[in-house]
């Protein structure tokens, strides 16, 4: 009997820039306090790429080079690079092609996917399909963000949340029923009014007016996004568990997008997960948008055991939301 091909993660690596932006430093920039930020978000510090000559691709290249080295993989063996980002190096060409060139990947192809904070989940799902159908054999999926380039450091509603970083996974075919088992993906454009960056696209191309109106920065109606995020994250976890007939005890780790500790806690509580089964690093990195989930996997990699079932879950701009069920392969 022909065995089903699945796409399995066979390595994970991350990179965060050295500069640490603390809550204390933020109090010198906007009217806020360490106490407010910690209790409302769970964030204590985030990393910032200070070098103006470096972009999201450079963060990704660091993560990918580390990944190739630790998995003994040659750049020439990679035939697919998919990138999740809302901070591409430029409008075009896409960041995937810039990364491929910088890492020295010439085989196959690559492209970017913009699904904001759900970007890694969407991108991992697409890469898995390309592996399952034989289009690709060795894929890299990377979430990379230089959020500091689109954050308004005079807006206390948003500047306390975001950070820079990149996380990458290697994806390969698996014939023994390990890997990406299922996914639940959703989007609803109604939500675009609550979380966006209006300037710089074809609707509002860059001009003195768009700069003056601060349209090249992230806008977020935090309260609205919070409300939808709680519901969307809960739906995504519940649906994937129901569909796969999973009880909480069958799942080793919940790997949530790191946007706000309160959203994570309510998602975990609703699905019956104690917090010691929930991957967390929001305290140190803040919200790195498409990079939070692979950065979590990187931080917890040495605690993962072959056969562990993981649920990845995220909610973000669009709105987009979704979850992925993984049976860990190593």
Q: What is the C-alpha separation between 82 and 301, in angstroms, rounded?
A: 21
**Minimum distance from CB of 105 to ligand UT7 (Å)?**
29
Q: Which stretch binds ligand UT7 (CB under 6 A): 55-63, 219-227, 270-278, 305-313?
A: 219-227
Q: What is the DSSP letter of 94?
A: -
Q: Applying CB under 6 A, which of residues 21, 218, 251, 263 lies at the interface with ligand UT7?
A: 263
Asked if 114 is part of the footprint of ligand UT7 (rule: CB under 6 A), the reply reads: no
Asked if 120 is part of the footprint of ligand UT7 (rule: CB under 6 A), the reply reads: no
Q: Applying CB under 6 A, which of residues 215, 260, 320, 323 lies at the interface with ligand UT7?
A: 260
Asked if 225 is part of the footprint of ligand UT7 (rule: CB under 6 A), the reply reads: yes
For residue 257, indicate whether it is catalytic.
Answer: yes
**Minimum distance from CB of 223 to ligand UT7 (Å)?**
5
Contact code string over 16-35 relative to ligand UT7, x by CB under 6 A: ----------------x---
CB-based closest residue to ligand UT7 = 222
Q: What is the DSSP letter of 169?
A: E
For residue 287, indicate whether it is catalytic.
Answer: yes
The catalytic residue among 257, 260, 281, 296 is 257
Q: Name residue, tokens 């450079």.
A: 58
Q: What is the DSSP letter of 251?
A: -
Tell me the C-alpha to C-alpha distance, in Å, between residue 64 and each of 82, 277, 293: 12, 27, 15
Asked if 226 is part of the footprint of ligand UT7 (rule: CB under 6 A), the reply reads: yes
Are 326 and 312 contacting, i.e. CB atoms less than 8 angstroms apart?
yes
- What own/partner pairs with CB < 8 Å and gap ≥ 24 does 76-79 have? 76/104, 76/105, 76/106, 76/107, 77/107, 77/138, 78/103, 78/105, 78/107, 78/108, 78/138, 78/139, 78/140, 79/107, 79/108, 79/109, 79/136, 79/137, 79/138, 79/139
| Residues acting as catalytic residues | 117, 257, 287
> Would you tell me which residues interact with ligand UT7 (CB under 6 A)?
32, 36, 40-41, 117, 156-157, 160, 222-223, 225-226, 229, 259-260, 263, 287, 315-316
């Amino acid at each position: 009997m022909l065995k089903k091909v699945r796409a399995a993660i066979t390595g994970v690596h991350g990179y965060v820039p050295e500069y640490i932006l603390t809550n204390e430093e933020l109090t010198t920039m906007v009217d806020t306090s360490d106490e407010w930020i910690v209790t409302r978000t769970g964030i204590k510090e985030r990393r910032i790429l200070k070098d103006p000559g470096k972009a999201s691709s450079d963060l990704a290249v660091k993560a990918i080079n580390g990944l190739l080295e630790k998995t003994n993989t040659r750049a020439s063996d990679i035939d697919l690079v998919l990138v999740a980002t809302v901070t591409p190096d430029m409008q075009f060409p896409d960041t995937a092609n810039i990364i491929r060139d910088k890492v020295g990947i010439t085989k196959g192809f690559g492209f970017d996917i913009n699904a904001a904070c759900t970007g890694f989940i969407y991108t991992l799902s697409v890469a898995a399909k390309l592996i399952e159908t034989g289009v690709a054999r060795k894929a890299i999926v990377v979430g990379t963000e230089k959020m500091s380039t689109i954050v308004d450091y005079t807006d206390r509603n948003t500047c306390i949340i975001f950070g820079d970083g990149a996380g990458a996974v290697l994806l390969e075919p698996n014939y023994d029923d390990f890997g990406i088992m299922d996914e639940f993906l959703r989007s609803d454009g109604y939500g675009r009014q609550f979380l966006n960056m209006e300037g710089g696209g074809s609707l509002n191309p860059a001009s003195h007016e768009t700069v003056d109106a601060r349209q090249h920065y992230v806008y977020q109606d935090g309260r609205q996004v919070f409300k939808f995020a709680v519901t969307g994250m809960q739906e995504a976890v519940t649906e994937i568990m129901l569909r796969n007939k999973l009880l909480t005890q069958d799942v080793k780790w919940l790997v949530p997008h790191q946007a706000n500790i309160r959203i994570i806690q309510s998602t975990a509580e609703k699905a019956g997960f104690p917090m010691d089964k929930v991957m967390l690093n929001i305290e140190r990195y803040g919200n790195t948008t498409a990079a939070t989930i692979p950065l979590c996997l990187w931080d917890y990699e040495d605690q993962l055991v072959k056969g562990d079932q993981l649920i990845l879950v995220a909610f973000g701009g669009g709105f987009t939301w979704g979850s992925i069920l993984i049976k860990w392969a190593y």
